[in-house]
Amino acid sequence: MSFLQRYFSKVNERERSSAAIAHLAALDAIHEQDPEIAKSIVQELRDQRSRLKLIASENYSSLSVQLAMGNWMTDKYSEGSVGHRFYAGCGNVDRIEGEGMRLAQKIFGADHAYLQPHSGADANLVAFWSILVQKIENPAVERLGKKNLGELSAAEYEEVRKLLSSQRVMGLGLGSGGHLTHGYRYNISSKMMQSESYEVDERGFIDYAALAKQVREFRPLILIAGYSSYPRRIDFAKMREIADSVGAVLLVDMAHFAGLVAGGVFDGVYHPVPFADIVTTTTHKTLRGPRGGMILCKTPYRAAVDKGCPLVLGGPLPHVLAAKALALKEVDTGSFKQYAAQVVANAQALAEAFLRNGVKLSTGGTDNHLIVIDTASSFHLTGRQAETLLYDAHLTVNRNAIPRDPERPWITSGIRLGTPALTTLGMKEKEMAEIAAIITGLLREAKPGFEEGKPSPSKAEVDGVLLDKMRMRIRELLSHFPLYPELSID
């Protein structure tokens, strides 16, 4: 029997959901073409349903957002920007992208929104490039008495190119919770410009006074504020002041906390848009949309940002633009505000429960959607050992460096946990306490596993009875919060 036939035989007419029907019909169509691919798609749903998703950068998008990506919009080329395309026939993409931009500008109070980046890393690349064009390239071309790059001689162009690559960028170090794209040595961002990181203090916090001093010494063109695993808010008014002290551009990467800004949890000095020149984000984390990126900018950067495609990025993904617009529509509701507030309440409840159990957290807690557990100090386990064991017990978390981590990035001494996905399922503070108890109960009893007769930095084991007991507790918990209950796939 097909997925669709099974659905119609199970669900009565009143309970039918058009999104569920569409998904099941799509699975049938995929199954006809390639049963193996259909099987993996279905298995992914089963896996996500059977595990507690605690990866801080993941969420569950709505079935409608997913469906907006699964259609013929993918077949259209639309390089350029709304109303200014390099291909004929972009009217529908223009309407979709224009609506997404309008919503993003309204939700975040931004001068301008650019929805085309395929990811947060791509958004950062476009942002860097736009800042370099606006602040360095355009004035250099003007100084040479020329109108544009095309008029420069080869020697003049080389002069401008060298000037671009001698610019400086400063972001939070990877080990302090920053992101690879914020100037990490192995990333393209540190090859485009000279890069220096700032780090958190002994307690794991950003020290604004120390940062101000470092910025005055390094004098970056771009100061980046933002993180992947920093469990605190950033004061963007202070960041603006620090950037202004050397005339730097302030770039905020809000990939992790965009949903908290949109939902009104981060406001005042914690809302990046009034203070930053450019704000980049992903659309799939706390914002709960499709996988992708987005840029918000002040008017002076608009012209350069809008040329992100084709000058930095490949062709836009119109099907993803449709999903982004739809997700922004979902964000622009009162229920999203409640969701955002609950994400933080849940993270704080999780942190408090761990602290009560004597677990060591980076910065001693959280005021956003994530926590970082020092597994080495708390449980004598590497991050990777903890990650592997928890996955075995049906919890997905990721290993994460802690500040000043002595371990390699592949192993680490910590794990990062986030609440965006479980909050989407409807979990609250009570469930967070249960999850903290399960994790503590497992990690406390864990012993390093062995590989080729030696203790392995990647594996940990617990008694099989305990593991089964914890899996049962997780199954019981998840049974009250089903993922996409309208999708009758088992």
DSSP type of residue 112: E
Minimal CB distance to ligand DSN: which residue? Answer: 57
Q: Which of 436, 434, 459, 463 is nearest to 449 (CA)?
A: 459
Within 153-272, strands assigned E span 168-172, 194-198, 222-226, 249-253
Catalytic status, residue 486? no
Q: Virtual CA dihedral for 72, 75, 80, 83, nearest 10 degrees?
A: -40
Cα–Cα distance, 261 to 371 (Å, whole number): 18
Q: Which of 285, 288, 399, 416 is catalytic?
A: 285
Contact between 189 and ligand DSN (CB under 6 A)? no
**Reduced to 3 states, what is the DSSP secondary structure of residue 477?**
helix
Which C-beta is closer to ligand DSN: that of 284 or that of 302? 284
Catalytic status, residue 408? no
- Considering the complex, what minimum distance in angstroms separates the CB of residue 86 from ligand DSN? 30
Q: Which residue has the tokens 């994460």?
A: 400
Beta bridge partners of 249: 222
Contact between 228 and ligand DSN (CB under 6 A)? yes
Contact between 57 and ligand DSN (CB under 6 A)? yes
Q: Which of 331, 307, 398, 327 is nearest to 62 (CA)?
A: 327
- Considering the complex, what minimum distance in angstroms separates the CB of residue 57 from ligand DSN? 3
- Considering the complex, what minimum distance in angstroms separates the CB of residue 159 from ligand DSN? 35
Contact 100, 317 (CB under 8 A): no
Cα–Cα distance, 349 to 81 (Å, whole number): 44
- Considering the complex, what minimum distance in angstroms separates the CB of residue 198 from ligand DSN? 19
Catalytic status, residue 352? no
Give counts: helices (H), strands (E), the chain: 21, 16
Catalytic status, residue 447? no
Catalytic status, residue 60? no
Footprint of ligand DSN on 155-184 (CB under 6 A)? 179
Footprint of ligand DSN on 62-121 (CB under 6 A)? 120
Q: Which of 28, 79, 392, 461 is catalytic?
A: 79
Q: Which of 99, 137, 253, 277 is catalytic?
A: 253
Catalytic status, residue 286? no
Contact between 280 and ligand DSN (CB under 6 A)? no
Which C-beta is closer to ligand DSN: that of 80 or that of 120? 120
Contact between 342 and ligand DSN (CB under 6 A)? no
Catalytic positions, please? Answer: 77, 79, 253, 282, 285, 291
Binding site for ligand DSN (CB under 6 A): 57, 120, 179, 228
